[in-house]
A and B are shown apart, each in its own frame.
Chain A
Amino acid sequence: MTIIVAILQAVLLVTLAPLFSGITRKIRAKMHSRKGTSIMQDYYDLAKLWRRCEVKEGGSGIISRLTPPIFLGSFILVAAGLPLVMQACPVPFLGDIITVLYLMALPRFMFALGSIDSAGSYTAIGGVRELLVGVLVEPSLILVLFVAAIAAGSTNLGIMANAVGTLQAYPFVAIVVAGVACAMACYIEMGKLPFDLAEAEQEIQEGPLAAYSGPSLAMIKLGVSVKQLVVASLFVAIFLPFGAATTAAPLDLLVGLVSFLFKLLIVMLIASVIENSVMRARYKYLGRYTWFVVGIASLSLVFLVIGI
């Protein structure tokens, strides 16, 4: 039964990802005082790219061909395992934080590897930057999830969500502070401005994306949209599980689904407003922002240890 939920929610996230990025684009246009494209535009773009023929760079190998499907696939797998509409993981072995973190590290690894597998000098710079973001952000994310796991007594995301949702997670302050740190880490992880370093159009001409075309580019683009939703969902699932179904009853699931989409929409709206009111961070100074996040994450650990 729950395996169906898992498949359905993965399909749901993939089909909705272009819609969400379309909405983001619309908000951006409004903030630019432009009319903007239709919110369905990303579907059209993907469809068009899918029909185009693939152009491969001379000298590029199997790696750059494997990167797009692995990039997209990993995030779909993560999406299947997260406790989104239920306060429990539909597939327990996919819902462990260790699994989730590694599944999120895999596409980054492939992305960076793919960027070296290209003759372009900007793509390599983009790959290096992507790794830099990973190195700087992942520790805080791991720390925060560790705090939540201790507080809930399990590394399973479903049990963590349930503990937070029923307000049984202890200590309370530590969880709230961890939630704040997690929100910030997730925002950086989403790769939106001011942290879209790996694809910075004006600086390095979209970095590794420049090496892909046709269906590969479509997969990467879809992958990036899905990634943003998955990262936002990860935060929502653990720290805002309110409204998610506690049982597998159809009505509960429906309520869970509606509340999940609502929460996700709010998070994405806030993210896109932030995105359009800042300039891109200088990649040199990225460390300053992430130190701040590490600080808050450590604070939550302190609160956990002293038990408030």
Chain B
Amino acid sequence: MSTKKQTTLRVGETHVQAVRDTFPGVVLDATWQAEDQVTITIPVDMLPDVVEFLYYGRGGWLPNMVANDERPLRGCYVLYYLLSMEESDPGFVVVRAEVDPNTMEYPSVTPRVPACVWSEREAFDMFGLRAVGLPDERRLVLPDDWLEDLYPLRKDSMDYRRRPAPVTDVEDYTFLYEGNAEETTQVPMGPLHITSDEPGHFRLFVEGEDIIDADYRLFYVHRGMEKVAESRLSYDAVTFLADRICGICGNAHSVAYAEAVENAQGIEVPLRGQYIRSILLEVERLHSHLLNLGLVCHYCGFDTGFQHFFRVREKTMDLAVLLTGARKTYGLNLIGGVRRDILDEQKLATIKYVRELRNEVEALVDMLVSTANFESRTAGIGRLDPAVARDYSPVGPAVRGSGIARDVRFDHPFDGYKFLVGMSARSHDGCDVQSRTLVRVEEFMDSLDMIEQLLDGAPEGPIQTENWQYTPHKYALGYTEAPRGEDMHWAMVGDNQKCYRWRAKAATYSNWPILRYMLRGNTVADAAIIVGSMDPCYSCTDRVTVVDVNKKSSTVLTKDQLEGYCRRRTHSPLAGKGW
């Protein structure tokens, strides 16, 4: 293969050629949006065949599918199936198909490639596009009390401020049961559960304490960010909105969005800017992984470990303060680079922090692994079968704990990761909670090494560029490896300096569909730790509800009040106002 490969061949060309050879006459068009991204247009009825061929036949994985209302541009809806090719010729192949706005139907890919299930359900909720043959046609994103025929992301459907009145008072979501046992008890876990602190309704079908099957309803905190981005913000302000997708890994989203636009517009980020982006992404990983290691302890009923991991985690927050001025790595990204440089004294201080963290975390991990019951609580629990993983394209430590070393940082190196030496993706093949925890431990240590390497390797120079030509309606992918796995953003800018369509896929969005398989065969007692081992991020998944700007009960705080509160840390100005 590699001998035949000529230097002039573009990334993804072998895949396009393979599709041409297997399905003659199907590829109507192939265009490259960026060096490693090609989009092929095919007739809509060929979707299942081509996506299945690329997925199973060519070593592709499917982050998600993006639906887009392009009626104002070319009179049709368009579907983009994003495929990350990870075996030979790594890169991204996007399969594009146009859907007739009169029928609003396309053949479902889910029966062939299960990884599409959530995207196709979402395409119906948001656009009313019906996947014919989709086994599960329940609502995914919209609440049960939403209107029957209002599809929020259609360009002509609604203003982003509109709040339609609920059409029903009852939650009538049906939970699907796929087990064999005839008599099971249903145990609801959530929508508010004591250990998950974020809303998600899990329905466990149990016999005694054994879980036979599980189903879940999420998106209780859907924020409608995509709609807001399209209607209210200019495209270069969306980096800051993308930060707010997640309370933990916002920076990863912000970078992914920025790179989507940069890739589409051909904007070259200066080298130093690329290094700084990677350093900040790794700082984010540090505190996120410590959070999860602490939570693993908590779910096992070992609060001592939980508190100690959180004590050490405080140091990673201090590191974030040092580098960004805030405890979260927020607000640092712009289209074209970053806003803040790392000075020499900050570099020295960072290296000092990194050394301290390495020692403290090593000691803590030793303590955790040697704690009584750690083995029995985590080994063999929440098994994710590699075959299920292959079908559903999960990401991050969840899949790496099942022996599949998928990691965007190494599969599709971007930013500073291109310059790392001697590193590779971590994986363990126990397929259980323990493996996923150990992957996180090793990745934490790797992150420390990466930060040191990146700090040493960063060249002098500018950190952002401001010279680029804005071309409307160009689109591309941006991707990062967030602590929980790959974040995939697809963005198309419009002719009004706004996003025409922005689709942010958070890591956890890819992981939810496999949870059902991880829960099966375990006990109610282990449910929390299994959900936790995936390190789910509800708000990430639920990225898209509009904050009601005209809410009557909203409280406006003055700057003085806020600053005073920051100093005193007592007498919250919001106290007694329903917060």
- A205 on the B face (CB < 8 A): yes
Q: Which of B195, B209, B304 contacts A32 (CB 8 A)?
A: B304
Complex CA–CA separation, A33 to B360 (angstroms): 14
Question: Which candidate, A68-76, A259-267, A280-288, is the interface stretch facing chain B?
Answer: A280-288
Given contacts A121-B185, A196-B301, A201-B194, contact A278 B371 (CB under 8 A): yes
Q: Is the CB of B209 within 8 A of A125?
A: yes
Q: Which of B299, B308, B372 contacts A202 (CB 8 A)?
A: B299
Given contacts A196-B301, A202-B194, contact A34 B525 (CB under 8 A): no
Complex CA–CA separation, A280 to B299 (angstroms): 9
Given contacts A200-B525, A202-B299, A202-B528, contact A194 B372 (CB under 8 A): yes
Complex CA–CA separation, A250 to B297 (angstroms): 50
| Per-residue A-contact encoding for B118-132, CB less than 8 Å = 1, 0 else | 000000000000000
Question: Which candidate, B229-237, B373-381, B513-521, is the interface stretch facing chain A?
Answer: B373-381
Q: Is the CB of A121 within 8 A of B307?
A: no
Given contacts A200-B525, A201-B194, A204-B524, contact A282 B301 (CB under 8 A): no
- A247 on the B face (CB < 8 A): no
- Please indicate the chain A residues that have their CB under 8 angstroms from the CB of B524 in the complex: 125, 203-204
A interface size (C-beta, 8 A)? 28
- B193 on the A face (CB < 8 A): yes
Work out how many contacts link A and B, with CB atoms closer than 8 A: 86
Identify which of residues 28-48 in chain B touch chain A, using a CB-to-CB cut-off of 8 Å.
none
Most buried by B among A193, A200, A282, A285: A282
| Per-residue A-contact encoding for B182-221, CB less than 8 Å = 1, 0 else | 0001111000011100000000000001000000000000
Q: Is the CB of A32 within 8 A of B307?
A: yes
Report the minimum CB–CB distance from A52 to chain B (whole Å): 19
Q: Is the CB of A282 within 8 A of B193?
A: no
Given contacts A32-B304, A125-B209, contact A205 B376 (CB under 8 A): no
- A239 on the B face (CB < 8 A): no
| Per-residue A-contact encoding for B280-306, CB less than 8 Å = 1, 0 else | 000000000000000001111111101
Complex CA–CA separation, A121 to B527 (angstroms): 14
Q: Which of B186, B301, B528 contacts A193 (CB 8 A)?
A: B301
- A279 on the B face (CB < 8 A): yes
Complex CA–CA separation, A281 to B523 (angstroms): 13
- Please indicate the chain A residues that have their CB under 8 angstroms from the CB of B526 in the complex: 203, 282
| Per-residue B-contact encoding for A281-297, CB less than 8 Å = 1, 0 else | 11111000000000000
- A276 on the B face (CB < 8 A): yes
- B10 on the A face (CB < 8 A): no
Most buried by B among A194, A201, A205, A279: A279
- B161 on the A face (CB < 8 A): no
- B5 on the A face (CB < 8 A): no
Q: Which residue of A lies closest to B527 (CB)?
A: A203
Q: Is the CB of B303 within 8 A of A28?
A: yes
Most buried by A among B185, B298, B371, B376: B376
Report the minimum CB–CB distance from B173 to chain A (whole Å): 18
- Please indicate the chain A residues that have their CB under 8 angstroms from the CB of B194 in the complex: 201-202, 205-206
Complex CA–CA separation, A125 to B525 (angstroms): 10
Categorize the interface residue count of chain B. Answer: 20 to 34
Provide the main secondary structure of the chain B interface: helix
Complex CA–CA separation, A200 to B194 (angstroms): 11
Report the minimum CB–CB distance from B577 to chain A (whole Å): 23
Complex CA–CA separation, A283 to B377 (angstroms): 10
- A302 on the B face (CB < 8 A): no
Identify which of residues 302-350 in chain B touch chain A, using a CB-to-CB cut-off of 8 Å.
302-304, 306-308, 311
- Please indicate the chain A residues that have their CB under 8 angstroms from the CB of B188 in the complex: 121
| Per-residue B-contact encoding for A201-242, CB less than 8 Å = 1, 0 else | 111111000000000000000000000000000000000000
Q: Which residue of A lies closest to B193 (CB)?
A: A205
Q: Is the CB of A278 within 8 A of B373?
A: yes
- Please indicate the chain A residues that have their CB under 8 angstroms from the CB of B302 in the complex: 278-280
- A135 on the B face (CB < 8 A): no
Q: Is the CB of B303 within 8 A of A32?
A: yes
Q: Is the CB of B373 within 8 A of A203?
A: no
Q: Is the CB of A284 within 8 A of B299?
A: no
Complex CA–CA separation, A6 to B180 (angstroms): 58
Given contacts A122-B187, A202-B301, contact A33 B372 (CB under 8 A): no
| Per-residue A-contact encoding for B460-472, CB less than 8 Å = 1, 0 else | 0000000000000
- A277 on the B face (CB < 8 A): yes
Q: Is the CB of A281 within 8 A of B373?
A: yes
Residue pairs across A and B with Cβ atoms less than 8 A apart, 8 shown, are A32-B306, A33-B311, A125-B209, A203-B526, A277-B304, A279-B372, A282-B376, A284-B525
New A-B contacts (14) at CB < 8 Å, excluding given A28-B304, A121-B188, A283-B525: A32-B308, A121-B186, A121-B187, A125-B187, A203-B525, A203-B527, A278-B371, A279-B297, A279-B374, A279-B377, A280-B302, A281-B376, A283-B209, A284-B525
